[in-house]
Amino acid sequence: MRRGLLLILSSPSGAGKSTLARRLMSWDRTIRFSVSATTRQPRPGEEDGREYYFRSREVFETMVKTGEMLEHAEVFGNLYGSPKGPVEAAMKEGRDTLFDIDWQGGQQIRNSSLGRDVVSIFVLPPSIAELESRLRGRAQDSDEVIAGRMAKSRDEISHWAEYDYVIVNRDIDTAFNELTTILQAERLKRDRQPDLSEFVRTLNTEFASR
């Protein structure tokens, strides 16, 4: 069985990574989404345990202290982190895990013992004007929150070169196509196909018996 991949998607807020992540999950239902824990308040429509585990700062900090987090970081004044348990379970089953996390989380996982299983993808917006218009169009945050996210975008974008792949999300269908192409190529890497040696042995046996 091959080891599961850790697929990390990062972008400035509003560039489209949640949209891409949702599509990817319905494209391949074996992929597990890493549901993060956060201290931020749920947005309308968000459910505890689906988009995030919404936790108090106190509970979150205990999770960090007891080593339950694979990575964690402060983003926009709230704490966010990826619980370790589900990721380890998915890897054991040979399933890929998808992370929607910021550059700080990406760095921590890449530098962890799981680094060799990481495939990281950065999503860029086609322009800053379009980024702002997508954030406003999402209509989920106040003007103040949107201004804060725009200010943070420059910092997030400055980390683009730390990622294995970069997708510019102009047209969502094209961007999604690019995402699935990356995943398919990474799954085909020789190291990620543990059955290949055995398969080539059977080819050689076939040669020998001709």
Residue 14 in the binding site for ligand ADP (CB under 6 A): yes
Q: Phi, psi (5° rounding) for residue 104?
A: -65, -45
User: Number of residues in contact with ligand ADP, rule: CB under 6 A?
Assistant: 15
Query: Using CA atoms, how far apart are residues 159 and 102, in angstroms rounded to an integer?
Result: 10
User: Which residues inside 25-84 make contact with ligand 5GP, applying CB under 6 A?
Assistant: 36, 40, 71, 73, 75, 80-82
Residue 105 in the binding site for ligand 5GP (CB under 6 A): yes
Supply 30's token pair.
Answer: 């074996």
Residue 105 in the binding site for ligand ADP (CB under 6 A): no
Smallest gap, in angstroms, from Cβ of residue 178 to ligand 5GP? 19
In the block, residue with structure tokens 């370790």: 84
- Residue of 100, 110, 146, 176 that binds ligand 5GP (CB under 6 A): 100
How many CB atoms neighbour CB 171 within 10 A? 10
Report the partner that residue 134 touches, choosing among ligand ADP, ligand 5GP, none (CB closer than 5 to 8 A by kind).
Answer: ligand ADP
User: Which residues inside 162-181 make contact with ligand ADP, applying CB under 6 A?
Assistant: 169, 171-172, 175
In the complex, the residues that contact ligand 5GP under the rule CB under 6 A are 13, 36, 40, 71, 73, 75, 80-82, 100-102, 104-105
